[in-house]
Amino acid sequence: MRVLVVGNGAREDALSWKIAQSPSVETLFATPGNAGTASRATNWNIPVTDGKTILERAQAENVDLVVLGPEVAIAAGVGDRLRDAGIAVFGPNRSGGRLESSKVFAKRFMERHGVPTARAAIVHSLASANKALDEWTGDGVVVKADGLAAGKGVVVCDTVDEARDVVKNWYTNNKIPGGGTDVLLEERLSGREVSVFALADGRAMVPMAAACDYKRAGDGDTGPNTGGMGAYSPPYDFPIDMYDQVRERILAPVLRGLLAEGETYIGVLYCGLMWTEDGPYVIEFNVRFGDPETQVLMPRINGDFAGLLKSCADGAMDLTLATLSTQSCVGVVLATNDYPRSNTPLRGLNPDVSLPEGAQAFWGGSALVDGSVETGGGRVLTVTALGETIADARSAAYDAVKSLAKRLDTSELSYRTDIGAVR
Protein backbone atom coordinates (compact mmCIF):
# COMPACT_ATOMS: atom_id res chain seq x y z
CA MET A 1 0.00 0.00 0.00
CA ARG A 2 1.16 3.56 -0.76
CA VAL A 3 0.35 5.94 2.08
CA LEU A 4 0.44 9.73 2.45
CA VAL A 5 0.56 11.41 5.87
CA VAL A 6 -0.56 15.05 5.86
CA GLY A 7 1.11 17.33 8.44
CA ASN A 8 4.49 18.39 9.77
CA GLY A 9 4.48 18.04 13.55
CA ALA A 10 5.78 15.46 16.01
CA ARG A 11 2.32 13.87 15.77
CA GLU A 12 2.85 13.18 12.07
CA ASP A 13 6.42 12.01 12.71
CA ALA A 14 5.00 9.47 15.19
CA LEU A 15 2.16 8.42 12.86
CA SER A 16 4.54 7.97 9.93
CA TRP A 17 7.00 6.00 12.13
CA LYS A 18 4.29 3.51 13.06
CA ILE A 19 2.80 3.42 9.56
CA ALA A 20 6.24 2.71 8.08
CA GLN A 21 6.52 -0.37 10.35
CA SER A 22 3.22 -1.76 9.08
CA PRO A 23 3.65 -4.89 6.95
CA SER A 24 1.03 -3.64 4.47
CA VAL A 25 3.00 -0.48 3.63
CA GLU A 26 5.28 -0.39 0.63
CA THR A 27 5.84 3.36 0.12
CA LEU A 28 5.32 6.36 2.36
CA PHE A 29 4.92 10.05 1.57
CA ALA A 30 4.47 13.04 3.87
CA THR A 31 3.38 16.58 3.10
CA PRO A 32 5.04 18.78 4.04
CA GLY A 33 6.58 16.33 6.54
CA ASN A 34 9.57 17.21 8.71
CA ALA A 35 13.15 16.21 9.57
CA GLY A 36 11.87 12.96 11.09
CA THR A 37 9.54 11.86 8.29
CA ALA A 38 12.39 12.59 5.83
CA SER A 39 14.19 9.49 7.11
CA ARG A 40 11.38 7.11 6.10
CA ALA A 41 9.12 8.97 3.66
CA THR A 42 9.37 11.19 0.62
CA ASN A 43 8.41 14.68 1.79
CA TRP A 44 6.30 16.77 -0.60
CA ASN A 45 6.45 20.50 -0.42
CA ILE A 46 2.67 21.04 -0.48
CA PRO A 47 0.89 22.95 2.31
CA VAL A 48 -1.60 20.90 4.35
CA THR A 49 -4.58 23.01 3.26
CA ASP A 50 -3.87 22.86 -0.49
CA GLY A 51 -6.31 20.04 -1.28
CA LYS A 52 -6.13 20.58 -5.02
CA THR A 53 -2.38 20.07 -5.30
CA ILE A 54 -2.38 17.25 -2.73
CA LEU A 55 -5.02 15.44 -4.81
CA GLU A 56 -3.10 15.88 -8.07
CA ARG A 57 0.11 14.56 -6.56
CA ALA A 58 -1.67 11.71 -4.73
CA GLN A 59 -3.24 10.61 -8.01
CA ALA A 60 0.07 10.83 -9.85
CA GLU A 61 1.73 8.72 -7.15
CA ASN A 62 -1.13 6.18 -6.93
CA VAL A 63 -1.64 6.77 -3.24
CA ASP A 64 -3.97 4.19 -1.63
CA LEU A 65 -4.52 5.88 1.73
CA VAL A 66 -4.24 9.44 3.01
CA VAL A 67 -3.99 10.05 6.77
CA LEU A 68 -4.96 13.58 7.80
CA GLY A 69 -2.97 14.92 10.77
CA PRO A 70 -3.93 18.54 11.51
CA GLU A 71 -7.40 20.03 12.00
CA VAL A 72 -6.68 22.84 9.54
CA ALA A 73 -6.44 20.30 6.70
CA ILE A 74 -9.77 18.79 7.73
CA ALA A 75 -11.42 22.22 8.11
CA ALA A 76 -10.09 23.17 4.65
CA GLY A 77 -11.98 20.22 3.14
CA VAL A 78 -8.90 18.23 2.05
CA GLY A 79 -10.65 15.01 3.10
CA ASP A 80 -13.78 15.80 1.03
CA ARG A 81 -11.75 16.51 -2.08
CA LEU A 82 -9.66 13.33 -1.89
CA ARG A 83 -12.62 11.13 -1.00
CA ASP A 84 -14.73 12.58 -3.83
CA ALA A 85 -11.94 11.55 -6.18
CA GLY A 86 -12.08 7.97 -4.87
CA ILE A 87 -9.03 7.98 -2.58
CA ALA A 88 -9.36 6.32 0.84
CA VAL A 89 -8.95 8.91 3.59
CA PHE A 90 -8.48 8.46 7.32
CA GLY A 91 -9.93 11.73 8.63
CA PRO A 92 -13.41 13.24 8.48
CA ASN A 93 -14.97 15.51 5.92
CA ARG A 94 -15.20 19.21 6.63
CA SER A 95 -18.75 18.82 7.96
CA GLY A 96 -17.64 16.21 10.53
CA GLY A 97 -14.71 18.49 11.33
CA ARG A 98 -17.13 21.06 12.73
CA LEU A 99 -17.09 19.05 15.98
CA GLU A 100 -13.67 20.69 16.45
CA SER A 101 -13.72 23.76 14.22
CA SER A 102 -16.83 25.22 15.89
CA LYS A 103 -17.28 24.90 19.63
CA VAL A 104 -20.81 26.26 19.21
CA PHE A 105 -21.63 23.51 16.70
CA ALA A 106 -20.12 20.88 19.01
CA LYS A 107 -22.02 22.16 22.05
CA ARG A 108 -25.35 22.21 20.20
CA PHE A 109 -24.66 18.77 18.75
CA MET A 110 -24.02 17.38 22.25
CA GLU A 111 -27.16 19.04 23.59
CA ARG A 112 -29.26 17.65 20.71
CA HIS A 113 -28.04 14.12 21.28
CA GLY A 114 -27.75 13.91 25.05
CA VAL A 115 -23.96 13.75 25.33
CA PRO A 116 -22.84 14.75 28.85
CA THR A 117 -21.11 18.14 28.66
CA ALA A 118 -20.87 21.34 30.71
CA ARG A 119 -23.93 23.61 30.61
CA ALA A 120 -23.18 26.62 28.42
CA ALA A 121 -24.55 29.96 27.25
CA ILE A 122 -23.77 30.88 23.65
CA VAL A 123 -23.36 34.64 23.19
CA HIS A 124 -22.80 36.85 20.14
CA SER A 125 -21.98 40.26 21.62
CA LEU A 126 -20.62 41.94 24.72
CA ALA A 127 -24.17 42.86 25.78
CA SER A 128 -25.44 39.28 25.55
CA ALA A 129 -22.30 38.02 27.33
CA ASN A 130 -22.84 40.45 30.21
CA LYS A 131 -26.48 39.52 30.42
CA ALA A 132 -25.61 35.83 30.67
CA LEU A 133 -22.98 36.61 33.33
CA ASP A 134 -25.51 38.67 35.34
CA GLU A 135 -27.58 35.54 35.67
CA TRP A 136 -24.61 33.20 36.21
CA THR A 137 -24.86 30.61 38.95
CA GLY A 138 -22.15 28.19 39.89
CA ASP A 139 -18.50 28.18 40.71
CA GLY A 140 -16.27 29.53 37.94
CA VAL A 141 -16.80 30.28 34.27
CA VAL A 142 -14.91 28.91 31.28
CA VAL A 143 -14.84 31.39 28.38
CA LYS A 144 -14.35 29.78 24.97
CA ALA A 145 -14.02 31.29 21.52
CA ASP A 146 -16.06 29.46 18.88
CA GLY A 147 -13.43 28.91 16.19
CA LEU A 148 -10.06 27.19 15.74
CA ALA A 149 -7.61 29.18 17.85
CA ALA A 150 -4.57 26.88 18.09
CA GLY A 151 -5.11 26.24 21.80
CA LYS A 152 -5.50 29.94 22.69
CA GLY A 153 -9.28 30.18 22.69
CA VAL A 154 -10.09 29.03 26.23
CA VAL A 155 -9.80 30.96 29.51
CA VAL A 156 -10.74 29.25 32.77
CA CYS A 157 -11.99 31.92 35.21
CA ASP A 158 -12.46 31.54 38.95
CA THR A 159 -14.99 34.35 39.16
CA VAL A 160 -17.72 35.98 37.09
CA ASP A 161 -15.78 39.29 37.22
CA GLU A 162 -12.75 37.65 35.65
CA ALA A 163 -14.99 36.30 32.90
CA ARG A 164 -16.42 39.81 32.37
CA ASP A 165 -12.89 41.13 31.82
CA VAL A 166 -12.13 38.42 29.28
CA VAL A 167 -15.27 38.97 27.19
CA LYS A 168 -14.84 42.74 27.40
CA ASN A 169 -11.31 42.50 26.07
CA TRP A 170 -12.33 40.03 23.35
CA TYR A 171 -15.34 42.02 22.13
CA THR A 172 -14.18 45.63 22.49
CA ASN A 173 -10.72 45.07 21.04
CA ASN A 174 -11.95 42.77 18.31
CA LYS A 175 -9.65 40.12 19.73
CA ILE A 176 -11.75 36.97 19.82
CA PRO A 177 -9.22 34.17 19.28
CA GLY A 178 -9.85 32.46 15.94
CA GLY A 179 -11.52 35.59 14.58
CA GLY A 180 -15.21 34.62 14.96
CA THR A 181 -17.98 36.47 16.79
CA ASP A 182 -19.51 33.73 18.95
CA VAL A 183 -18.35 32.92 22.47
CA LEU A 184 -19.37 30.15 24.88
CA LEU A 185 -19.65 30.73 28.59
CA GLU A 186 -19.39 27.35 30.18
CA GLU A 187 -19.91 25.92 33.62
CA ARG A 188 -16.58 24.90 35.15
CA LEU A 189 -16.36 21.18 35.79
CA SER A 190 -14.04 19.55 38.25
CA GLY A 191 -12.41 16.19 38.11
CA ARG A 192 -9.49 14.61 36.29
CA GLU A 193 -8.87 15.13 32.60
CA VAL A 194 -8.29 12.27 30.22
CA SER A 195 -8.23 12.03 26.44
CA VAL A 196 -9.87 9.03 24.81
CA PHE A 197 -9.16 8.33 21.15
CA ALA A 198 -11.97 6.54 19.32
CA LEU A 199 -11.67 5.07 15.83
CA ALA A 200 -14.56 5.53 13.43
CA ASP A 201 -15.34 3.95 10.07
CA GLY A 202 -18.60 5.76 9.35
CA ARG A 203 -20.66 3.01 10.98
CA ALA A 204 -19.00 2.29 14.32
CA MET A 205 -16.99 4.18 16.90
CA VAL A 206 -14.65 2.24 19.16
CA PRO A 207 -12.26 3.47 21.86
CA MET A 208 -8.70 2.71 20.77
CA ALA A 209 -6.56 4.12 23.57
CA ALA A 210 -6.37 6.85 26.19
CA ALA A 211 -3.71 9.28 27.36
CA CYS A 212 -3.20 12.26 29.64
CA ASP A 213 -1.35 15.37 28.56
CA TYR A 214 0.20 18.35 30.31
CA LYS A 215 -0.98 21.70 28.98
CA ARG A 216 0.90 24.18 31.19
CA ALA A 217 4.44 25.27 30.38
CA GLY A 218 5.94 24.81 33.83
CA ASP A 219 6.45 22.07 36.41
CA GLY A 220 3.54 21.56 38.77
CA ASP A 221 1.10 22.82 36.12
CA THR A 222 2.26 26.42 36.41
CA GLY A 223 2.79 29.04 33.70
CA PRO A 224 0.91 29.67 30.49
CA ASN A 225 -1.06 27.15 28.45
CA THR A 226 0.78 25.45 25.60
CA GLY A 227 -0.06 22.98 22.87
CA GLY A 228 1.13 20.28 25.31
CA MET A 229 4.45 19.70 27.09
CA GLY A 230 4.24 15.96 27.60
CA ALA A 231 1.91 13.00 27.91
CA TYR A 232 1.60 9.48 29.21
CA SER A 233 -0.45 6.45 28.35
CA PRO A 234 -2.30 4.56 29.68
CA PRO A 235 -3.96 6.78 32.29
CA TYR A 236 -4.07 5.25 35.76
CA ASP A 237 -6.56 5.53 38.63
CA PHE A 238 -9.60 5.77 36.39
CA PRO A 239 -12.52 3.37 36.90
CA ILE A 240 -11.83 -0.13 35.63
CA ASP A 241 -14.88 0.14 33.35
CA MET A 242 -13.67 3.49 31.95
CA TYR A 243 -13.98 2.39 28.32
CA ASP A 244 -17.45 0.91 28.87
CA GLN A 245 -18.61 4.19 30.38
CA VAL A 246 -17.10 6.20 27.51
CA ARG A 247 -18.72 3.86 25.00
CA GLU A 248 -22.15 4.03 26.58
CA ARG A 249 -22.31 7.62 27.72
CA ILE A 250 -20.30 9.40 25.03
CA LEU A 251 -19.61 7.37 21.90
CA ALA A 252 -23.04 5.74 21.53
CA PRO A 253 -25.01 9.03 21.54
CA VAL A 254 -22.35 10.73 19.38
CA LEU A 255 -22.58 7.98 16.78
CA ARG A 256 -26.38 7.94 16.87
CA GLY A 257 -26.33 11.72 16.41
CA LEU A 258 -23.90 11.62 13.51
CA LEU A 259 -25.90 8.94 11.73
CA ALA A 260 -29.19 10.73 12.36
CA GLU A 261 -27.70 13.88 10.84
CA GLY A 262 -26.40 12.03 7.81
CA GLU A 263 -22.73 12.41 8.74
CA THR A 264 -20.43 9.55 7.74
CA TYR A 265 -17.61 10.15 10.22
CA ILE A 266 -14.34 8.41 9.36
CA GLY A 267 -11.12 8.90 11.30
CA VAL A 268 -10.36 9.46 14.94
CA LEU A 269 -12.55 11.28 17.42
CA TYR A 270 -10.45 12.67 20.24
CA CYS A 271 -12.71 13.04 23.27
CA GLY A 272 -11.25 15.48 25.80
CA LEU A 273 -13.05 14.39 28.96
CA MET A 274 -13.40 15.61 32.50
CA TRP A 275 -13.96 12.61 34.74
CA THR A 276 -16.31 14.07 37.34
CA GLU A 277 -17.97 12.46 40.37
CA ASP A 278 -20.79 11.89 37.97
CA GLY A 279 -18.71 10.12 35.31
CA PRO A 280 -17.25 11.44 32.04
CA TYR A 281 -18.22 14.85 30.58
CA VAL A 282 -16.96 16.14 27.24
CA ILE A 283 -14.92 19.35 27.46
CA GLU A 284 -13.87 19.27 23.85
CA PHE A 285 -13.85 17.15 20.74
CA ASN A 286 -10.98 17.10 18.32
CA VAL A 287 -11.36 15.40 14.97
CA ARG A 288 -7.75 14.22 14.73
CA PHE A 289 -5.04 12.65 16.83
CA GLY A 290 -3.59 14.73 19.69
CA ASP A 291 -0.13 16.20 19.92
CA PRO A 292 1.75 15.11 22.10
CA GLU A 293 -0.62 12.21 22.92
CA THR A 294 0.02 10.47 19.59
CA GLN A 295 3.74 10.32 20.38
CA VAL A 296 2.96 8.14 23.43
CA LEU A 297 0.25 6.08 21.74
CA MET A 298 2.18 4.96 18.65
CA PRO A 299 4.95 3.15 20.58
CA ARG A 300 2.22 1.08 22.32
CA ILE A 301 0.69 -0.16 19.06
CA ASN A 302 1.70 -3.48 17.54
CA GLY A 303 0.67 -4.97 14.23
CA ASP A 304 -0.55 -3.46 11.00
CA PHE A 305 -1.55 0.04 12.10
CA ALA A 306 -1.74 1.33 8.52
CA GLY A 307 -4.00 -1.62 7.68
CA LEU A 308 -6.27 -0.68 10.58
CA LEU A 309 -6.50 2.95 9.38
CA LYS A 310 -7.19 1.76 5.82
CA SER A 311 -9.98 -0.54 7.05
CA CYS A 312 -11.60 2.46 8.78
CA ALA A 313 -11.19 4.57 5.64
CA ASP A 314 -12.86 1.76 3.64
CA GLY A 315 -15.85 1.67 6.02
CA ALA A 316 -15.02 -1.76 7.47
CA MET A 317 -12.93 -1.34 10.62
CA ASP A 318 -10.83 -4.45 11.33
CA LEU A 319 -9.64 -4.26 14.92
CA THR A 320 -7.78 -7.56 14.62
CA LEU A 321 -5.09 -5.89 12.53
CA ALA A 322 -3.40 -4.12 15.44
CA THR A 323 -3.19 -4.51 19.20
CA LEU A 324 -2.37 -2.18 22.08
CA SER A 325 0.57 -3.20 24.26
CA THR A 326 0.08 -3.31 28.03
CA GLN A 327 3.33 -1.37 28.39
CA SER A 328 3.26 2.27 29.44
CA CYS A 329 4.75 5.16 27.51
CA VAL A 330 5.87 8.61 28.68
CA GLY A 331 6.73 11.47 26.32
CA VAL A 332 8.59 14.68 27.22
CA VAL A 333 8.43 17.71 24.92
CA LEU A 334 11.60 19.76 24.38
CA ALA A 335 10.64 23.30 23.39
CA THR A 336 12.57 26.48 22.74
CA ASN A 337 13.04 28.53 25.92
CA ASP A 338 10.70 31.29 24.76
CA TYR A 339 7.78 28.91 24.00
CA PRO A 340 4.82 29.62 24.17
CA ARG A 341 5.46 33.41 24.25
CA SER A 342 7.10 33.33 20.83
CA ASN A 343 8.80 30.89 18.51
CA THR A 344 12.45 31.55 17.81
CA PRO A 345 13.76 29.48 14.91
CA LEU A 346 16.57 27.13 15.87
CA ARG A 347 19.08 26.02 13.25
CA GLY A 348 22.01 23.66 12.95
CA LEU A 349 20.65 20.86 15.14
CA ASN A 350 22.17 17.37 14.97
CA PRO A 351 19.71 15.24 12.97
CA ASP A 352 20.80 12.07 14.78
CA VAL A 353 18.25 11.62 17.53
CA SER A 354 18.39 7.83 17.51
CA LEU A 355 17.91 6.21 20.92
CA PRO A 356 18.20 2.69 22.34
CA GLU A 357 15.37 0.16 21.80
CA GLY A 358 12.16 1.22 23.54
CA ALA A 359 12.87 4.94 23.29
CA GLN A 360 12.06 7.16 20.33
CA ALA A 361 12.35 10.88 19.57
CA PHE A 362 9.94 12.65 17.23
CA TRP A 363 10.67 15.96 15.52
CA GLY A 364 8.18 18.82 15.58
CA GLY A 365 7.90 21.29 12.68
CA SER A 366 11.36 21.15 11.07
CA ALA A 367 13.32 20.48 7.90
CA LEU A 368 16.56 18.73 7.08
CA VAL A 369 18.79 21.31 5.34
CA ASP A 370 22.34 20.42 4.26
CA GLY A 371 22.64 17.67 6.85
CA SER A 372 21.38 19.62 9.82
CA VAL A 373 17.92 20.32 11.22
CA GLU A 374 16.21 23.68 11.06
CA THR A 375 13.14 24.20 13.18
CA GLY A 376 10.67 27.02 13.44
CA GLY A 377 11.02 26.89 17.23
CA GLY A 378 8.26 26.08 19.69
CA ARG A 379 7.91 22.38 20.35
CA VAL A 380 11.07 20.97 18.78
CA LEU A 381 11.16 17.31 19.87
CA THR A 382 9.06 14.80 21.81
CA VAL A 383 11.21 12.17 23.51
CA THR A 384 9.33 9.01 24.45
CA ALA A 385 10.11 5.73 26.16
CA LEU A 386 8.24 2.54 26.97
CA GLY A 387 8.35 0.77 30.33
CA GLU A 388 6.45 -1.86 32.29
CA THR A 389 4.94 0.90 34.45
CA ILE A 390 4.52 4.65 34.08
CA ALA A 391 7.38 5.08 36.58
CA ASP A 392 9.71 2.86 34.49
CA ALA A 393 8.71 4.65 31.28
CA ARG A 394 9.24 8.02 32.94
CA SER A 395 12.73 7.20 34.10
CA ALA A 396 13.67 5.82 30.66
CA ALA A 397 12.21 8.91 28.95
CA TYR A 398 14.24 11.31 31.11
CA ASP A 399 17.41 9.22 30.57
CA ALA A 400 16.78 9.61 26.85
CA VAL A 401 16.20 13.37 27.22
CA LYS A 402 19.53 13.72 29.03
CA SER A 403 21.47 11.77 26.43
CA LEU A 404 19.86 13.78 23.62
CA ALA A 405 20.41 17.12 25.36
CA LYS A 406 24.14 16.35 25.27
CA ARG A 407 24.06 15.35 21.62
CA LEU A 408 21.99 18.35 20.55
CA ASP A 409 24.42 20.54 22.47
CA THR A 410 21.96 23.33 22.98
CA SER A 411 21.03 25.50 25.89
CA GLU A 412 18.06 26.77 23.95
CA LEU A 413 15.68 23.96 24.80
CA SER A 414 13.60 23.53 27.96
CA TYR A 415 11.34 20.79 29.21
CA ARG A 416 9.18 19.95 32.18
CA THR A 417 10.76 17.61 34.72
CA ASP A 418 7.51 16.21 36.13
CA ILE A 419 5.95 14.44 33.14
CA GLY A 420 4.56 11.08 34.26
CA ALA A 421 5.38 11.74 37.94
CA VAL A 422 2.94 9.53 39.79
CA ARG A 423 0.60 11.63 41.87
Binding residues (CB under 6 A) for ligand GLY: these are 213, 228, 286, 290-291, 293
- Within 87-215, strands assigned E span 88-90, 120-123, 141-145, 154-157, 183-187, 192-201, 205-213
Work out how close the CB of 217 gets to ligand AMP at its nearest, in angstroms, rounded to a whole number.
Answer: 14
Query: Looking only at residues 131 through 170 of this chain, which bind ligand AMP when binding is defined by CB under 6 A?
Result: 142, 154, 156
Work out how close the CB of 279 gets to ligand GLY at its nearest, in angstroms, rounded to a whole number.
Answer: 22
Binds ligand AMP by CB under 6 A, chosen from 189, 196, 217, 380: 189
8, interface contact from ligand GLY, ligand AMP, none, CB < 5-8 Å by kind: none
Work out how close the CB of 262 gets to ligand GLY at its nearest, in angstroms, rounded to a whole number.
Answer: 27
What are the CA-CA distances from residue 10 to residues 76, 112, 151, 292 (Å)?
A: 21, 35, 16, 7
Which of 106/208 has CB closer to ligand AMP?
A: 106
Work out how close the CB of 114 gets to ligand AMP at its nearest, in angstroms, rounded to a whole number.
Answer: 18
47 exposure class (CB count in 10 Å sphere: 0-12, 13-18, 19+): middle
Which of 78/333 has CB closer to ligand GLY?
A: 333
Work out how close the CB of 205 gets to ligand AMP at its nearest, in angstroms, rounded to a whole number.
Answer: 20
Q: Phi/psi of residue 308, each to 5°?
A: -65, -45
Residue 107 to residue 220: CA distance in whole angstroms: 31
Residue 54 to residue 68: CA distance in whole angstroms: 11
Residues in the chain: 423
Interacting residues of 40 by C-beta distance below 8 A, sequence separation 6+: 16, 17, 20, 28
Binds ligand AMP by CB under 6 A, chosen from 284, 291, 293, 304: 284
Work out how close the CB of 296 gets to ligand GLY at its nearest, in angstroms, rounded to a whole number.
Answer: 11
Query: Could you tell me which residues are beta bridge partners of residue 282?
Result: 117, 273
Query: Could you tell me which residues are beta bridge partners of residue 334?
Result: 381
What are the CA-CA distances from residue 400 to residues 133, 265, 392 (Å)?
A: 48, 38, 12
Binds ligand AMP by CB under 6 A, chosen from 269, 283, 383, 413: 283
Work out how close the CB of 149 gets to ligand AMP at its nearest, in angstroms, rounded to a whole number.
Answer: 8
314, interface contact from ligand AMP, ligand GLY, none, CB < 5-8 Å by kind: none
Which of 228/307 has CB closer to ligand GLY?
A: 228
Using Cβ positions, the residue closest to ligand AMP within the complex turns out to be: 284
Residue 298 to residue 303: CA distance in whole angstroms: 11
Query: Looking only at residues 197 through 226 of this chain, which bind ligand AMP when binding is defined by CB under 6 A?
Result: 215
Using Cβ positions, the residue closest to ligand GLY within the complex turns out to be: 290
Interacting residues of 337 by C-beta distance below 8 A, sequence separation 6+: 412, 413, 414
Binds ligand AMP by CB under 6 A, chosen from 50, 61, 162, 193: 193
304, interface contact from ligand AMP, ligand GLY, none, CB < 5-8 Å by kind: none
Which of 142/297 has CB closer to ligand AMP?
A: 142
Residue 195 to residue 85: CA distance in whole angstroms: 33
Report the relative pairing of strands 192-201 and 205-213 from DSSP bridges.
antiparallel
Work out how close the CB of 189 gets to ligand AMP at its nearest, in angstroms, rounded to a whole number.
Answer: 4
What are the CA-CA distances from residue 305 to residues 62, 67, 181, 243, 361 (Å)?
A: 20, 12, 40, 21, 19
Residue 283 to residue 194: CA distance in whole angstroms: 10
Binds ligand AMP by CB under 6 A, chosen from 147, 272, 279, 376: 272
142, interface contact from ligand AMP, ligand GLY, none, CB < 5-8 Å by kind: ligand AMP
| Residues near ligand AMP, by CB under 6 A | 118, 142, 154, 156, 186, 188-189, 193, 215, 272, 274, 283-284
